[in-house]
Amino acid sequence: MEKKVLVTSRSFGQVSDEAVRLLNKAGIQIDYMVSNFVLDEFERKIPEYDALIIGAHPFRPELFDTCPKLKIICKHGVGLDNIPVEAAHEAGVCVTNTPGTNSDAVADFAFALMLAVGRNLIYSVEEIKKGNVKPKYGNDICGKTLGLLGFGAIARRVAKRAFGFGMTVLAYDPYVAAAPEGLEQVKLCTLEEVLKESDYVSIHLPITPQTRGMIGREAFEMMKTGARLINTARGGIIDEDAVIEAVSSGKLAGAALDVLDTEPVAVDNPLLSTPGIIITNHVASYSKEALNAVSMICANNVISCLEGRDVLYSV
């Protein structure tokens, strides 16, 4: 009987058909639920499938009781907060992700957001369309202090880019004891020190019970007046009401958020209408190179698992 994989990631195979051809060659049927994704329908259909390639939508632990055929869930990305990994293991289902494949793409995007919010780039673009040529002054990136919350693969790449701009780089990460080789210039600090001393704060933390809501009113009070915040990690780390207050009051000069607590963003979300806040649609990893690499890892892992071979990045 032909094996079947259900794809719900909106970016799988979108920049190249290489991963799709790989699955087809292995005799695996590919079905999609992307633009037409409905969670209830997804949950109803998964008992038909041997493998899943999914994005950021939730997967309830109870679903494992309904899908005895399922052998593997491949996260088309890195974060696993939407997948109940322990329940998967108990059900004998392999879970994989794709660490490191999008690190450069996300680091590039984080720095792009830093430049955009620092120099009021989006404001300038929108105002010139209206015929308003009056400038809004920004601040230099060069020579400023960048604070990194989290110091994993992506944050380390952001640090390297920051050195090219002559920035001083501070980092907070309770799981990192020393800066790695090549990044000795980075000063490891407490969370409070990073918040108090940084002109730009970029978030690179996972979402956990400990990090959820950790950047809220208390954190903003610690930050420099006129500092700016960038988040390409997970939306729930920031208290969104608090960041609106901080930017609106002038405590923060701006914020650039690629991730929100609820996605996709609702058109009436006040974040979208708050001057000084840039919102993008969780696209930091969306470079052609990164997306194709992620798709290829997922495709190879589906094939390997269904053929009884070892997979990459099993968690």
Q: Which residues are catalytic?
A: 234, 263, 282
Residues 6 or more apart in contact with residue 189 via CB below 8 angstroms: 147, 170, 171, 172, 197
- Which sign does the torsion angle of CA 291, 292, 297, 302 carry? positive
CA–CA separation, 32 and 35 (whole Å): 9
Residues 6 or more apart in contact with residue 117 via CB below 8 angstroms: 228, 230, 253, 254, 255, 256, 276, 278
Residues 6 or more apart in contact with residue 126 via CB below 8 angstroms: none
CA–CA separation, 223 and 238 (whole Å): 14
Structure tokens at 31: 């079905």
First to last CA, the chain: 28
Q: Quote the DSSP letter at residue 215.
A: B
Structure tokens at 295: 């798709």
* Inter-residue contact 268 to 262 (CB < 8 Å): no
